Structures are given as C-alpha cells and as structure tokens.
Copies of this chain bind each other. A is one copy, B any other.
Amino acid sequence: MSKITEDILLIDGLEYCNWNRELFENAHQAGLTAIHATLVYWENTEESFEKINYWHHLFKKHHDIIAHAKTTEDILHAKKNNKVAIIFGFQNSAPIANDIFLVEKFFLEGLRFMQLTYNNQTPLGGGCFEPKDSGVSRFGCAVIEEMNRLGMIIDLSHAGKKTCLDTIEISEKPVAISHANPSFFHKSIRNIDNDILKKLASKDGFIGLSLYPYHLKDHGKCEPEDFCEMIKKLINIIGEDNIGIGSDLCLNWPDDIVMWMRNGKWTKKIDYGESKDKNPKWPELPSWFKQPSDLKNLFYILQKNSISEKTIYKILGHNWLKFMKLHF
C-alpha cells in the first residue's frame, strides 16, 4: 500500500460548520486543499451579505492557515502556501430573492456555488420536499443563464426531481449535486435516482458523495466498506470522472440548528423532515467520518477496498478541481 503523495488534492465539496480555530486547524493539519463552505440557507439578501462580512473576519483572523478562493488558481495558490482554500456557497437562492442582478453582486463577493432550492419551492424551481415540483420557472431559466455566464456552479442538492432534470437540460455548463448519494445506496428524499445520475453524467455533471448519516445506509451505521461498494457501483454507472466528496459535515452547532435547517422561517409548526425523532438533534456521525481531516483517511479506506490509486486521487480532489475549472 502506498502513501499519499504531495500532489494529492483533498477537496470537500460541502461542509456547513460553525468554524473556529480548532476546526480550521483540523482541516489544515490533514492537508485539505479546499472546502466548499455553506454560508446560508434561509437568510435574506442583507443577512447573506453580512455572512460574507463575517467570513472576511475569519480570513483575517486565521490568515496563516486559510484563504478565500474565487478561482481555481486561488485554490492552487493556497495549496502552494500551505493554506486551506475556502470556496463560498449558498444552499438556497433565498439571498437573491426575485432579483437577477443580485447573482452578479454575490459573484463579485466570491460566491461560486448556489443551490436553486433548499427542500422547499423557490421562485426558481421546486424543492425535494415539495409534493409537486414545478421544474425550472421563468426566473429559474434567467438565473441559470446568468450563473453560466458568470461561472457560478449550479448546485442541485435539495432540488426536486423535475427541477434537476430541467436544469441539467437547460444549463449550458455542467451542473453539480454537491452533497448527496445515489438512491440505490440508501433510499431517501435527498438521495438521487439512477435516471438523474445518468442524465447528469451525460452532460458532464458532478456528484459529491455525502457522509451525512441520513444519506448513508442504515442512517450512518454502515461500514466504510459499504461506502466503497457504493462508489464502485456508481463508477459502473457513470464512470469515475464526475464523482467527488461533498461530506455535508455539520460541526460545532447546537441542536437548535437542525430545526433552523428544516424550518427556517417558513412555518410556525414544526417540520421534522425525514426524521422520526421529535427531539431534533444532530444525527450520530459515522465513526470513520467525523471531522474535516477524515477526508484524508478516506484515502486509506478506499485503498483498502481495492479502489485504484488513480481513481482515489480523482475522487478525493482532482475531479472536483477539474469540474470547478469549467466554471472559475
């Protein structure tokens, strides 16, 4: 078994953490190249700009180990300087409300990923929890065109099925599902059916595989071997070039945040999502993926499970970088 070499890229295609020195150091010490960090879910325009301001404070405070990346060159530059590159993303389109001009305003601030929807319907399209998915709306088409023009990655995580299929069809640039797993691995509202995976890959689209318990077999109580088997099966379906990791690590948040993610401000009742638990709390993470640094350990897990080194390098980072290069 060989060791990890210098030229490995370790890119996590989605994390939502309440970042502090300890977490940044954890990622830094493991040699993470880049993390796509979620800034907001339900926040409005002003709150989202404020969140960007907050990140500038983080960049200043932890400038020795992290750096803001607006381009793929920035990512490689950060690696060269031994820093973890942070890429901004929104897990919803709430920040742009109904204003096409806000897409560019956020792009200029560094936004490089945006989901069209987060569980619920937006002015752009349907969410995965809606009983009926509209598909991409008139405004949705306009925003897709604008994101293509600017070089902002369209993220279909949390979108409805028809919205996924429409977007893959409409978008002139390949689109991503930054954090989800195939439905064949674990059937859940958030995971992705084979027909979408195939259509996605046929247009060079990307999937970042998730380590979030609700997206994993047996709600995260599965073994690393199960995860590796899923990857092998997925490679058989869509090849090995459009797959990466989007761990969906949510760390250092109080349990209240689970409620915020599910309910935002859209209901006065309580929505429990797919959970049966009426005391919403963070689900227990798989023992083998609990922190940013565990992305590095995936190297050994994948290797142990007979996935070739070339393929591992692709899945852990090179694929993501190549995909990002198509956009920024």
Question: Contact between B121 and A134 (Cβ–Cβ < 8 Å)?
Answer: yes
Question: Contact between A120 and B98 (Cβ–Cβ < 8 Å)?
Answer: yes
For A131, A135, A138, A266, which residue has the most chain B Cβ atoms within 10 angstroms? A266
The chain B residue sitting closest to A99, CB to CB, is: B265
| Shortest Cβ gap from A277 to chain B (Å) | 20
Surface stretch bound by B, among A29-37, A76-84, A122-130, A237-245: A122-130
The chain B residue sitting closest to A44, CB to CB, is: B97
| Shortest Cβ gap from A93 to chain B (Å) | 10
| Shortest Cβ gap from A63 to chain B (Å) | 34
Question: Contact between B97 and A120 (Cβ–Cβ < 8 Å)?
Answer: no
Question: Contact between A138 and B134 (Cβ–Cβ < 8 Å)?
Answer: no
For the complex, is A42 an interface residue (Cβ under 8 Å from B)? yes
For the complex, is A229 an interface residue (Cβ under 8 Å from B)? no
| Cα separation A67 to B133 with both chains bound (whole Å) | 43
Question: Contact between B121 and A139 (Cβ–Cβ < 8 Å)?
Answer: yes
Question: Interface 1/0s, chain A 36-67, versus B by CB < 8 A?
Answer: 00000010110000000000000000000000
| Cα separation A75 to B269 with both chains bound (whole Å) | 34
B contact residues around A127 at 8 Å (CB): 138
Question: Contact between B121 and A137 (Cβ–Cβ < 8 Å)?
Answer: yes
| Chain A residues close to B by CB (< 8 Å) | 42, 44-45, 94, 97-101, 120-124, 126-127, 129-135, 137-140, 142, 146, 264-269, 271
Question: Contact between A138 and B142 (Cβ–Cβ < 8 Å)?
Answer: no
Question: Contact between B266 and A139 (Cβ–Cβ < 8 Å)?
Answer: yes
| Shortest Cβ gap from A97 to chain B (Å) | 6
What are 30 sample pairs from A and B whose C-beta atoms fall under 8 A apart? A42-B98, A44-B98, A94-B97, A98-B120, A98-B265, A98-B266, A99-B266, A100-B265, A100-B266, A100-B267, A101-B265, A120-B137, A120-B138, A121-B121, A121-B124, A121-B134, A121-B138, A121-B140, A122-B123, A126-B134, A126-B137, A130-B137, A131-B138, A132-B134, A132-B137, A138-B267, A138-B271, A139-B267, A142-B266, A142-B267
The chain B residue sitting closest to A139, CB to CB, is: B266
Question: Contact between B120 and A139 (Cβ–Cβ < 8 Å)?
Answer: yes
